[in-house]
Structure 1
Amino acid sequence: MGEENGNSGSGISQKREPAIRFLVESALRSVLSKSQSDKPRSREEWVAYLAEAMISESETSHHAAISSLVASGVSSEEVFQKYIPAVSRFLGEMWVGDKASFVDVTVGAARLQALFRNKAQPGEAGWLTRSIPLGQSVLMIVPNFENHSLGAFVAADQFRRHGLWVHMAIGLEDEEIAALIETSGFSLLGITAATPKSVEKCRKIVEYLKTKVEHCPPIAIGGFAVEDAEAVERVTGADFAVKSVREAVERAELSTVAGSALLDA
């Protein structure tokens, strides 16, 4: 019976095949067109797109989103040094604007931090190449009252790109930080401050370290809360407040890798 209808067992008559093929092709073109129109076009749209992927229920969507960004022509260095910090700020804005829950933002921040932790180490293949350390080191301090640590990870990666060793001190008590400084040859101490309240609380840490550590390295305050650097310096007693890693390196007069294409954090 299939042969009598001319469908040769396909279940579709030969007369109907061209029409069905046309409908399928039209549907595919429509899907492709929609996919292309939905693709982010501007940097702001990419940041929003990545932020949504970071808080998605899918465990892999943020990796796919970043891969799409790189495929669009953005370098992996720019992804880590420009886009990820922007996504972090965007997530914070979503939380403040009640567009994302605390859980959503926490999940997103954890995934952003994981991206930095999982990057290749020196000598390994990865999205970013690392500089050869020059012997100087930085202690990045994330106080135990600070809920946002992504900025410290971004800054730490920038310091490494300048050729500096970086040690992370997350959630340590003041006594533990002092003991760590006493047993290590740090050239700079960096304290992250994400909010004005954090700035006020940093004063206690700065006072303690400068009082208890015999040879205390310069202390720099950095983070989203540093808008008026002079005001932050007055409040905290830090040697300087900075808005970028490059500024911290210059103010502390640290030796860095000469001739490198370095980006500000």
Structure 2
Amino acid sequence: MYVIDHRNPDTAPDRQHKGICVLVEAALSSMVAARSGPVPARVDDWVRELTEALMAESETLHLRVVAALRASGVGGDELFERYVPDAARLLGEYWVQDRASFVEVTVGTGRLQRLIRERGEAGHGTPDRTVPLGQSVLMVVPRFEDHSLGAFVAADQFRRHGIWVHVAIGLGGAELSQQVMSRRYAMIGLTGGSLKVLEELAGLVDALRTDARPSVPIVLGGCVVALTREAGRITGVDHAVSSVREAIARCGLVTVAGALSSGAA
């Protein structure tokens, strides 16, 4: 049970596996050359291949797929804004559909988290932190959620838009209440991985509304949004979204790109 402040990368746990991103970049040519089989032509096919590789016994197969993606012309931002989130969602779908074991999904989740953390540590895609946007969001991973990957993916994307992020994982009622009241958040985000958590999410939303300022929007993301159109109504959130960009737009958050565009105008 902890809170990670993404303004301070030293608070993030597990700083092992240094150099993964460097390894990916440096090994592009050799890994692609060693890769067998046809090259996927569609995004969905790439995502499926990446997801399967994340769960594989091989410790480097997913890095080979990432390298092949980069060699095919996919940039770093596109990789982490499109392919990684889609792979995370597919891992969740595999778990819900019983197409992957708990161990496989956990291994895949851990590998994605390491890629995301390494990208942040390397400074790739990280905006100038001196830009005084002054906004922060709270990403809540409830105790009844099995995995926190979706929150880490979202946190990375928010951060690269110039928004500070706090990730609260497994906090109890009193701890979460204290966290919500201790800062002026511009948004509170929740993640849901399956339909079975909808009722518990609704109770959590009620508790958050008691502690948060009335103007703070509560947003729901994760696999549960794709599983039912009623997720927003059932849980009582202000918005049920399928991407970080949608959350930013719905909540009217200011990003680095938006601030620069406004200044230029």
The answer to whether the superposition gives a TM-score over 0.5 is yes
**Comparing 222-231 and 82-91, the one that deviates more:** 222-231
**Comparing 243-252 and 134-143, the one that deviates more:** 243-252
Task: Give distance in 1, aligned partners of 2:89 and 2:216.
Answer: 30
Task: Give distance in 2, aligned partners of 1:219 and 1:37.
Answer: 45
1:74 paired residue number: 74
Q: Check if 1:46 corresponds to 2:46.
A: yes
1:240 paired residue number: 239
Residues 243-262 of structure 1: pairs in structure 2 closer than 5 A: 243-259=242-258
User: Residue 92 of structure 2 contacts residue 193 of structure 2 at CA under 8 Å; is this kept in 1?
Assistant: no
Letter of the 1:39 partner, please give it. Answer: V
Structure 1, unmatched stretches of 5+, are: 1-31
Letter of the 1:106 partner, please give it. Answer: T
Name the SS of the counterpart of 2:224 in structure 1.
coil
User: Residue 221 of structure 1 contacts residue 238 of structure 1 at CA under 8 Å; is this kept in 2?
Assistant: yes
Residues 148-159 of structure 1: pairs in structure 2 closer than 5 A: 148-159=147-158
Name the SS of the counterpart of 2:115 in structure 1.
helix
1:222 paired residue number: 221
User: Residue 195 of structure 2 contacts residue 227 of structure 2 at CA under 8 Å; is this kept in 1?
Assistant: no
User: Residue 92 of structure 2 contacts residue 223 of structure 2 at CA under 8 Å; is this kept in 1?
Assistant: no
User: Residue 137 of structure 2 contacts residue 188 of structure 2 at CA under 8 Å; is this kept in 1?
Assistant: yes
Task: Give distance in 1, aligned partners of 2:187 and 2:151.
Answer: 14
Letter of the 1:224 partner, please give it. Answer: C
1:130 paired residue number: 127
Letter of the 1:49 partner, please give it. Answer: E
Name the SS of the counterpart of 2:189 in structure 1.
strand
Name the SS of the counterpart of 2:120 in structure 1.
coil
User: Residue 174 of structure 1 contacts residue 209 of structure 1 at CA under 8 Å; is this kept in 2?
Assistant: no
User: Residue 178 of structure 1 contacts residue 212 of structure 1 at CA under 8 Å; is this kept in 2?
Assistant: yes
Name the SS of the counterpart of 1:166 in structure 2.
strand
Measure how far apart 1:49 and its partner are: 2.2
Measure how far apart 1:234 and its partner are: 2.8
Letter of the 1:74 partner, please give it. Answer: V
Structure 2, unmatched stretches of 5+, are: 1-31, 261-265
Name the SS of the counterpart of 1:160 in structure 2.
helix
Change in 2 beyond 3 A, CA 1:179/1:53: same
Task: Give distance in 1, aligned partners of 2:249 and 2:222.
Answer: 17
The percent of aligned pairs where both chains have the same amino acid is 46
Residues 93-132 of structure 1: pairs in structure 2 closer than 5 A: 93-96=93-96, 98-121=98-121, 124-126=122-124, 128-130=125-127, 132=129
Task: Give distance in 2, aligned partners of 1:112 and 1:187.
Answer: 27
Higher RCO (CA-CA < 8 Å; seq separation 6+): 2
> Size of the alignment, in residue pairs?
227
Change in 2 beyond 3 A, CA 1:104/1:183: same
Per the normalisation by structure 2, the TM-score is 0.74
Q: Which has the larger radius of gyration?
A: 1
Q: Check if 1:168 corresponds to 2:170.
A: no
Measure how far apart 1:161 and its partner are: 2.4
The root-mean-square deviation of aligned C-alpha atoms, in Å, is 2.9
Task: Give distance in 2, aligned partners of 1:256 and 1:158.
Answer: 11
User: Residue 144 of structure 1 contacts residue 173 of structure 1 at CA under 8 Å; is this kept in 2?
Assistant: yes
Alpha-carbon displacement from aligned partner over 1:121-174 (angstroms, at most 9, x marks no partner):
4xx553x34354511000000111111322212221221222110010111112
**Comparing 75-84 and 247-256, the one that deviates more:** 247-256
